Structure 1
Amino acid sequence: MKSNRRKFIKRSAIGAFAGMTGLTADARGRKERDPDQQEEALDRILAEPVLRLDELKDPVWMETIELLRNGDNFICRVRSKEGAEGLSVSNNMQMKHLYPIFVNRIQPFFIGKDARNWESLLDEVYVYQSNYKLQNLAFWVPLATLEFAILDLLGKLTGKSMGALLGDTIYHPEIAVYQANNYRGKSAEESIDLIEKHVRETEARALKFKVGGRMSHNRDYPPGRTEALIPLVRERFGPEMVIYADSNGSYTPEEAIRIGKIMEAYAYDFYEEPVPFDWYEETLEVTKAVRIPVAGGEQEPSMHGFRWLIKEDALDIVQPDIFYFGGMVRSMKVAKMAAFKGKPCTPHISGSGLGYLYMMHFVSAVANAGPYHEFKGFNQEIPLYSPTSSLSSEGGKVTVPTGPGLGVTLDPDFVANHQVVAG
């Protein structure tokens, strides 16, 4: 079961990419055998435009860009010169610390620009006021917040969903979810009961739980929890449950390999961030040493970093976080590079705001999407309405909203209770 699952993941991604590009198996094989051709192909992918905006013949001048705040909730509102409007809800856990970067380093650059040129503007704002010095969550979360509002605006103007703006085909109108759990600090016995409770609530057919101690240099939290919990999860849920484990960079390579071998014995389906996220060579070392697929990329801020991880096969599964990595456009380029190498994309998503909705729209357009996607629960504090989706997990699947932009309507009174954030 272990090796078959890994081979299936890789085969399914290759097949999806073949359908998306028309490449034959022989052509793919030649490219994969020749390092120079691989690099050329990856660079072509990075140069290709993502957004599909052929319907928009006239400029979409961004007349106003506002960041609105109510407590720790942040909304971005973009209005065009012609009066069209797009809204987004930020990653509020991060934005409450980062909003000055949005107001002072991002907002001024984009006012008066044509929203149709978003992809080229991404390169320009990176250099504006030396913003590249801020590369990481500090810059990418505020930028993603703006991008999602712009995609909502462009979607309303074109009549397309966010996903349809990213590609010609909607591959996944429904998203099968995995239930993410985090009970570090509790014993294995306490953890397994809580994991089961949340999995049953969503009827998810896949789950992910935490191992190790989070960037802890091999310390477990509490001691002995990981080695007790790995078999418990498999025994509790049985052979059909898809199980992922996330160490959040807890281990040195030697310990990561040892823990990975335990997971192999219980037929786990992927192993996330076995070593610290910026240990590229060590990630590759672990990936080569274990049979379980290795996933990562949640913390990766650099497109060139992802290019290396993908080209060198340091990761079996790529996990850009569409907030942490600066939006759907950048993340789609990562997904396409991964597809070229026969790897699935299973994006990470943070738990606050409307991240789960943005993730679903992104995944809907990813040909090589993994079979299950992260779910941490619906945000019941943000009132909204969707005529095309219950926005609930039914049989472990969530329907992606259709309709223009985000496909949901935020309660106007809720938006009106927010105040404009000044510079």
Structure 2
Amino acid sequence: MKRPVLKTELFRDPVIIESIDLLKYKRNYLCRVRSRGGAEGIAFVNSQMDRLYPFFLKDIKPYFIGKDARNLEALLEGVYVHESNYKLQSVALWVPVSTIEFAILDLLGRIANKSMGQLVGEIHHPEIHLYQANSERGITPEETIDQLHEQLEKSQARAIKFKIGGRMNAPEVPKGRTERLIPLVRETFGDNMVICADANGSYDVAEAIRVGKIMEEYRYEFYEEPVPFDWYEETKQVSDALQIPIAGGEQEPSMRNFRWLLGNDALQVVQADMCYFGGLIRSMRVARMAKVLGKVHTPHVSNIGYVYTLHFVSAIPNAGPYHELKTPFNDDMEFECKTSTLLPEKGRVKVPTGPGLGIDFDPAFVAKHRIIDV
């Protein structure tokens, strides 16, 4: 858990962070980090920033100014306790921190001429196989099937995931949808399709087990968040009662909680989210713990986290076989990626190989943004 991640040997001289700017244009944010030596890194910003920017500006950003970016791992530990920031644990803390980490890694990657994946690991997966996610609830099983057909026609993915239950114990609409949909998806797409389902914490233990046994009957790949995400002991109870792998962790902010979930075999598929968990470095530590126990990491993807997830997955040996597709990807952003279309081609996407994030923002587009201040 504590073994160093960032390859600091790539940087001989200090990289002092001179400025961090939160930029906004229309509904989009960017984060720009500059060093005293003139290097620059830019990051996409999660949509949660609309309500979190006061924390970013007052509680997180000042801590990093004047620090050496080569000490990024220590900075991630330090900002957690600085001015009692640990009281913000969860997205209020880790989305701002991951935003700055992404921009710093872009800056460091440009200095070292290395991709983000190369900064935090070795490249194991230059291409990522995708699963087609369908996020609709409140529609009939037949409508779900129609949507999946349409989505698969574009992505040509060989794996799918869809929503079941009512989300966090809410009533399911339409009633009985899950029990009809689980067998219908298998019957429709055949034995060769890899199928997963996400309950988003819809059930108590008994109902989660009952639904899980239906999924086992139809040979599903994994069962995501069967009970509410912070029901740790109940998650283990469900896991102990079923053969299907249990997936979870997209909401998890705590490294120690991941250690418990993995060490107690409550999860077989871990899903730390790059944005919600604080970035690539913290997520890499979770992936390493999972690898020790023979478990896979299949990250949850939240909007702009798509490209960061590609870099992360490329650099972990225990990546799951399929990963979440998030397209269209920021259609209103103006940038160029010279080494990847970032779009699925026969169910796969090529990981960018350029320095840092591997994306170059149009300077004229960046200039349209205004700096957000306290």
The within-5 A match list for 1:24-423 is 46-92=1-47, 94-167=48-121, 169-216=122-169, 219-351=171-303, 353=304, 355-379=305-329, 380-423=331-374
TM-score (ref. length: structure 2): 0.98
The whole-number CA distance in structure 1 between the counterparts of 2:262 and 2:275 is 20
The answer on whether the counterparts of 1:234 and 1:266 sit within 8 Å (CA) in structure 2 is: yes
Q: Percent identity at matched positions? A: 58
Structure 1 residues 221-264: Cα deviation after superposition (integer angstroms, max 9, x where no partner)? 22111111111111111100001100000000000000000001
The answer on whether the counterparts of 1:69 and 1:420 sit within 8 Å (CA) in structure 2 is: yes
The SS at the match of 2:297 is coil
The answer on whether the counterparts of 2:327 and 2:343 sit within 8 Å (CA) in structure 1 is: no
Q: In structure 2, give the amino acid aligned to 1:409.
A: D
The SS at the match of 2:96 is helix
Structure 1 residues 112-139: Cα deviation after superposition (integer angstroms, max 9, x where no partner)? 0000000001111111110000000111
Structure 1 residues 375-397: Cα deviation after superposition (integer angstroms, max 9, x where no partner)? 12132221221111122111100
1:55 shift after superposition: 2.1
1:53 shift after superposition: 2.2
The whole-number CA distance in structure 1 between the counterparts of 2:297 and 2:370 is 37
The whole-number CA distance in structure 1 between the counterparts of 2:359 and 2:66 is 27
The whole-number CA distance in structure 1 between the counterparts of 2:312 and 2:68 is 23
Q: In structure 2, give the amino acid aligned to 1:263.
A: M
The whole-number CA distance in structure 2 between the counterparts of 1:214 and 1:257 is 16
The whole-number CA distance in structure 1 between the counterparts of 2:101 and 2:344 is 27
The answer on whether the counterparts of 2:158 and 2:347 sit within 8 Å (CA) in structure 1 is: yes
The whole-number CA distance in structure 1 between the counterparts of 2:333 and 2:191 is 37
1:216 shift after superposition: 1.7
Structure 1 residues 358-389: Cα deviation after superposition (integer angstroms, max 9, x where no partner)? 10000000110000001121322212211111
Q: In structure 2, give the amino acid aligned to 1:109.
A: Y
The whole-number CA distance in structure 2 between the counterparts of 1:375 and 1:383 is 20
The whole-number CA distance in structure 1 between the counterparts of 2:328 and 2:5 is 28
Q: In structure 2, give the amino acid aligned to 1:103.
A: L
The SS at the match of 1:47 is coil
The whole-number CA distance in structure 1 between the counterparts of 2:173 and 2:205 is 19
Q: In structure 2, give the amino acid aligned to 1:398.
A: V
The whole-number CA distance in structure 2 between the counterparts of 1:53 and 1:402 is 20
The whole-number CA distance in structure 2 between the counterparts of 1:121 and 1:195 is 43
The whole-number CA distance in structure 2 between the counterparts of 1:331 and 1:345 is 9
The answer on whether the counterparts of 1:53 and 1:158 sit within 8 Å (CA) in structure 2 is: no
The answer on whether the counterparts of 1:215 and 1:276 sit within 8 Å (CA) in structure 2 is: yes
The whole-number CA distance in structure 1 between the counterparts of 2:152 and 2:243 is 26
The answer on whether the counterparts of 1:162 and 1:361 sit within 8 Å (CA) in structure 2 is: yes
The SS at the match of 1:208 is strand
Give the number of aligned pairs: 373
Q: In structure 1, give the amino acid aligned to 2:26.
A: G
The SS at the match of 1:325 is coil
The aligned residue for residue 29 of structure 1 is none
Pick which of 150-159 and 195-204 moved more: 195-204
Structure 1 residues 188-221: Cα deviation after superposition (integer angstroms, max 9, x where no partner)? 111111122112210011111000000025x322
The whole-number CA distance in structure 1 between the counterparts of 2:25 and 2:294 is 44
The answer on whether the counterparts of 1:140 and 1:323 sit within 8 Å (CA) in structure 2 is: yes
